[in-house]
Amino acid sequence: MLGTMWINTGLALLACVVTFIVAMMSNVWLVSLERAGLAFLLFFLAAFPIRWLFGIITQTSTPSTVEESKDGVVAASPMTSESSEEGVEGIEVSDSAEEDSFTPLTFSRQDHTHLAEDPTTVAEVIRRLSDE
């Protein structure tokens, strides 16, 4: 989760004060205080999922930008900028680590007609529609 409990408390206090001031304009002070307390509780509890969501959105799980393999060859990760095409002098840059890390999932091709294109299914649908 992003932040601390003070974020929840601050947001809840802000909602409490705003609700109390707005409610005082048209209600007695006891009703306004009750509504402000309810606003404090709701905003305090609502801040937990909001902080959790912001934590997931801002979370980055990228490895370091340059990794060195056993051979001493530096492999560039996807985060490196492509503006430096020359690289560092004396160091060979290769994309072999990137190629080895990802293998796409492949499915075997099967020749089949889709259910909507099957002549028997189309005939059954037409029969059902004509009966109604």
Each residue's pLDDT tens digit, 33-87:
999 999 999 999 998 888 888 888 887 654 445 555 555 555 555 554 444 444 4
Q: Do 8 and 48 form a contact (C-beta atoms < 8 A)? A: yes
pTM: 0.42
Q: What percent of the chain has pLDDT over 90?
A: 25
| pLDDT for res 39 | 94
Close Cβ partners of 71 (under 8 Å, ≥ 6 residues apart): none
**pLDDT grade for 1, boundaries at 50, 70 and 90:** low
Look at 88 and 2; give whichever has higher pLDDT. Answer: 2
- Distance between CA 94 and CA 71 in Å, rounded? 12
**pLDDT, the chain, mean:** 74
Nearest to 12 by CA among 41, 52, 35: 41
Cross-strand bridge partners of residue 66? 76
At residue 55, the pLDDT reads 83
Please name the residues in contact with 15: beta carbons below 8 A apart, sequence gap of 6 or more. Answer: 39, 40, 42, 43
